[in-house]
Structures are given as C-alpha cells and as structure tokens.
Amino acid sequence: MIFRPEKLKIKDQRMVSFIDSDELWGYIHTTPATKEKVREVIAKSLDKNRLTLAETAILINATDPDLIEEIKQGARMLKEKVYGQRIALPIYIGNLCTNNCSYCGFKATNNKVKRVTLNREDLISQVRALEDTGQKRLILVYGEHPKYDANFIAESVRTVYSVKSGPGEIRRVNINAAPMDIDGFRIIKDAKIGTYQIFQETYHRETYARVHQGGQKRDYDWRLTGLDRAQEAGIDDVGIGALFGLYDWRFELLGLVRHTNHFEAVYNVGPHTISFPRIQYASELNLDKSNMVSDSEFTRLVAILRLAVPYTGLILTARETAAIRDEIMQFGVSQIDGGTNIEMGGYSKRKEHEEQDIDLEQFQINDNRTLNEIMDDLIEQKYIPSFCTACYRLGRTGEHFMEFSVPGFIKRYCQPNALMTMVEYLEDYAPPETKAKGYLLMQEKLDEIEDESFKIKLTEKINQIKDGQRDLYF
C-alpha cells in the first residue's frame, strides 16, 4: 500500500472532540486522484478494509465521469456482501422543541407548527396500527425538550414493547433524540433500546454555530461527544449521521469517516449505522442554499461512503424519492424505512397516499409508498426484506462488522433470519400477489444454499412458521 496510516493531529480520547477542520480540508486539498490511486483505493475496500481519511479523500477528488462510474461499480460489488434490507420505521413521539435549527420545521420559533406529544393511548394506537401492517422494528423520534427526558423516553420504549396486536409485536426500538448525560443513557439502556442515533448535522464548527442559534443544541461539543457518553453508559449500538446541504458535502463525508475512526480508536467498534439525510422542504425553512447536494453528487457521495466503511450499516430514508432510493440501494444500503409517515400521530389515521400536512410534519418526505408496496418492490428486485432482530435479542450487539468479518456469518445467520421474517410477513400481512412473489424468492434463496443439512434445518423452521409458530431465528 502506498498510503501511510493517518497521523491525526487530534489524538482520540473518550469524550473529547476529535474534529479538526483544517486537517479534514487538508486531506481534500492534498490528495489528488490519479486513475491508479483511485483503483488502488477501490481494491482495498473490496478487500474488506475500511479506508483512511486520505484514501477517502482520493475518492472524493475523483471528478472524471469514468472514475466516478468505477467508484459506483465498486460500491455495487460491495453490496454483494450485504444480504438484504432491514426495515425500520420512524415514529414521532413529540415535536415540542427548545432548539432553533434553521432547517427544521419543529424549531421553537415556528409558531405555524402544531405542537403535539403522543400520550400513552395515542402511542398504543399508533403502534397497533403499525403492527397491523407487519412492522417489527421502529425508530422513536423526539424533539429536544425538558419534557422528553430519559425517563419519558424509557417509558415510551416500554409502552411500545408492551403493545401486541394479533401476531404483531415490535421487537426492536431504536431512538433518535437529543444527546443526554451518562446517567440518562443508562436509564434508556435499561428500557432495552436497540440503536441510539444522534446526527451531528454538520461537522463544520462555524456552520454548526450559524444554523443552531439557541437551545442546548447550539453546543457543538456536547452533541459531538453525545454518543461517547452513550458508549460509556453501555449502549454500544450507536448511529451517526450528517445532514447534507448545510456545508460542503466533501467535508461532511470526511467528518463521518473521522467519527467512525474515533469510535474504533476509543471503543474498538465503529458505529452500527450511518445516516445521510439530505435537507428537504420544511415549514418556515430558513437556509443558505449554496451547499445543497444535487442528485448526482448525492449518489456519488453514498458510493464513496459505502467504500470507505465497508462494515457499517447505511440507512436510507423516505426523504429520498423512490428513484434515488433504487439507485442507492444497489450500493448495499442495509436499512430503509417503508410506509413512512412523519406526521405527528399520522399512522393511525393514515389513508393510502394521504396528502401530507406540512404543519404537523418536521419536513416533507418524498417516498410515500406503503409498507407492502416497498416489500413488493424489494422482492421484485430480489432483495430479501428483513425484519430481523436476532443479533440484538441474542446480545450480539456493538459488532455490526461481525456479519461481514466472521466467515459464513451472513449465510449462517443473516440471510436465513431475513428469510424467516419475510415468511412471517407473507403469512400474516401480505396480499396474495406479494405472497406468491415472496415464496418464489424464498425458494430461489433456498436453492442457493449448498450445505444440505443446513437447508433442511432452515426448511423445517420455515414450515414451523407456516404452521403458526413465530419469532424463530438462528
């Protein structure tokens, strides 16, 4: 390898800021992308190695259309190593907020938005409505407000887990909420959450200060070290993210890779997931649009991210159109949402393709397909839609990379578990056409299994599901 390992100016320590803006820009300005170097970096990633900042910068600096296509092709090849699409759905618990993020419809100064906090009964009816469509994994989302403290969040998690509707149940609850102190994270961990997500929004300190004027969120370092505190409290499945469109996408991409290095250096495990939302229209949006990311830049940056962190789960949301989602899914996105409605209380009153009520929403979403439409599309494209929660239930947390690095893990665990959750869905919720297509895909996948004794075991479990048993996994 011609590239030397990073000698970062800021040494990684627990709960200490690790972003040096000059350093990140330095990589972008000093690593030219020759064809040879770009190919060498792609090859390193395909060999299942995480890329350094310098190597990521080489991919970022590749502007020749043929090289960009080679990068995308590399990302598509990596996808072969991802077995299927996990589905998790956001549900907004409350939109009270004391912050003033310039890009968000829920900001404190927006008096056009209706402020709602779901009470226990509301939440139960939302969850029941989701379970009745077949959802098994949720992301609970909260504004930042004293009312939504650790005890409140933990209580909502417990409520969600307690709701059972027919064969429906929620098996994994992830959280997207403000950072808290270590004691707060401990309270939430005790409620048995899956992943805790906090997006830094922008890693660029000056831009951060400009778009966060007011409230606790204006403290860049408190937010940046938020997931360190979660780790200290024992939450080892953490999700990072950047909101693309606030600052130069090249810088944000390196920021995400730097955040990943930080976790690896200090906690010996990278983030479980990375999210890369792009700014969408919101009520009272107040933004400098000069850093908005075009579709072609967006697909390019996701391909680079895929190559930079081959072991990390990537989350794609309904903020993007179905067309962009289809392209990006080819790069091995491991989690999507399906049937998303980010209107407060929107699931229980949902009609198909209902008009969005922007004054109840944080921002506008662009993929309004129902869960079954998404399931059907995934099956059609030969992805296995997955509601798998096995690793989390068996304590295999904090080590997402295990799926990729332990030989045979995907074949032995992920793929069969994904298939079994798909069969549950086909039995309990799918209309006949989706059911027929789903069973054809299942048979194709079963036929691909070479280990005959394992195939027999899996077929037995699938038959048990058809006979009415639920929640089986390896």
Of 1-9, 51-59, 93-101, 413-421, which part binds ligand SF4 (CB under 6 A)?
93-101
Q: Which does 50 bind (CB under 5 to 8 A by kind): ligand SF4, ligand SAM, none?
A: none
**Chain Cα centroid distance, residue 349:** 26
Task: Using the structure block, give the residue that is written with the tokens 């139960």.
Answer: 124
- The nearer residue to ligand SAM, 45 or 280, going by C-beta atoms, is 280
CB hemisphere CA count around 84 (13 angstroms): 28
Single out the residue of 101, 157, 253, 418 in contact with ligand SF4 (rule: CB under 6 A). Answer: 101
Q: Give the one entry of ligand SAM, ligand SF4, none that residue 343 binds, where binding means its C-beta sits below a cut-off of 5 to 8 angstroms depending on kind.
A: none
Among ligand SAM, ligand SF4, none, what does residue 199 contact (CB within 5–8 Å per kind)?
Answer: ligand SAM
Instruction: Choose the one of ligand SF4, ligand SAM, none that binds residue 280, judging by a C-beta under 5 to 8 angstroms depending on kind.
Output: ligand SAM
State the residues that interact with ligand SAM by CB under 6 A: 103-104, 141-144, 176-178, 198-199, 201, 243, 277, 279-280, 282, 319, 362-363
Q: Which is nearer to ligand SF4, 97 or 333 (CB)?
A: 97
Is the distance from CB of 122 to CB of 128 less than 8 angstroms? no
* Reduced DSSP (H G I as helix, E B as strand, rest coil) percent helix, strand, coil of the chain, to 5: 45, 10, 45
Decide which of ligand SAM, ligand SF4, none touches 126; Cβ closer than 5 to 8 Å per partner kind. none
**Which residue of 41, 59, 87, 104 would you call a contact of ligand SF4, by CB under 6 A?**
104
Give the residue nearest to ligand SAM (CB).
363
- Are the C-beta atoms of residues 147 and 117 closer than 8 Å to each other? yes
Residue 205, Cβ density class (10 Å: 0-12 exposed, 13-18 middle, ≥19 buried): middle
Sheet containing 238-241: give its strands across: 89-94, 137-142, 172-176, 196-197, 238-241, 273-275, 313-316, 335-336, 84-87, 384-386
* Sole binder of ligand SF4 in the list 44, 72, 86, 107 (CB under 6 A): 107
- Regarding 106 and contact with ligand SF4 (CB under 6 A), the answer is yes
107 binds, among ligand SF4, ligand SAM, none (CB under 5 to 8 A by kind): ligand SF4
Residue for token pair 């949902």: 350
Nearest Cα to 267, choosing from 302, 235, 245?
A: 235
> Phi and psi dihedrals of 90, rounded to 5?
-80, 145
Q: Which is nearer to ligand SAM, 199 or 409 (CB)?
A: 199
Q: Which is nearer to ligand SF4, 104 or 129 (CB)?
A: 104
Cβ count near 355 (within 10 Å): 7
Spatial distance between the Cα atoms of 302 and 202, rounded to a whole number of angstroms: 16
Query: Which H or E run includes 114?
Result: none
Judged by CB under 6 A, which of 52, 56, 85, 99 binds ligand SF4?
Answer: 99
For the CB of residue 124, give the shortest distance to ligand SF4 in the complex, in Å: 23
Closest distance of CB 45 from ligand SAM, Å: 26
Identify which of 297, 330, 315 has the alpha carbon closest to the alpha carbon of residue 68: 297
Q: How many CA atoms lie within 13 A of 322 on its CB side?
A: 12
Please state the closest distance from residue 78 (CB atom) to ligand SF4, in A: 31
Which window, 95-103, 148-156, 248-256, 373-381, contacts ligand SF4 (CB under 6 A)?
Answer: 95-103
Q: Does 144 bind ligand SF4 (CB under 6 A)?
A: yes
The DSSP code for 330 is T
Looking at the Cβ atoms of 197 and 312, the one nearer to ligand SF4 is 197
Question: Which partner in ligand SF4, ligand SAM, none is near 160 (CB below 5 to 8 A by kind)?
Answer: none
Residues with Cβ < 8 Å from 117, sequence gap 6 or more? 93, 94, 95, 96, 147
Residue 176 touches which of ligand SAM, ligand SF4, none (CB < 5 to 8 A by kind)? Answer: ligand SAM
Instruction: Considering the complex, state which of residue 51 and residue 246 has its C-beta at the smaller distance from ligand SAM.
Output: 246
Q: Within 13 Å of residue 318, how many CA atoms lie on the same side as its CB?
A: 23
- Binding of residue 217 to ligand SF4 (CB under 6 A): yes
Distances (CA, A) of 256 to 13, 240, 279, 370: 17, 8, 17, 31
369 counts as binding ligand SF4 under rule CB under 6 A: no
- The answer to whether residue 153 forms part of the interface with ligand SF4 (CB under 6 A) is no
Residues that bind ligand SF4 (CB under 6 A): 97, 99, 101, 104, 106-107, 143-144, 217
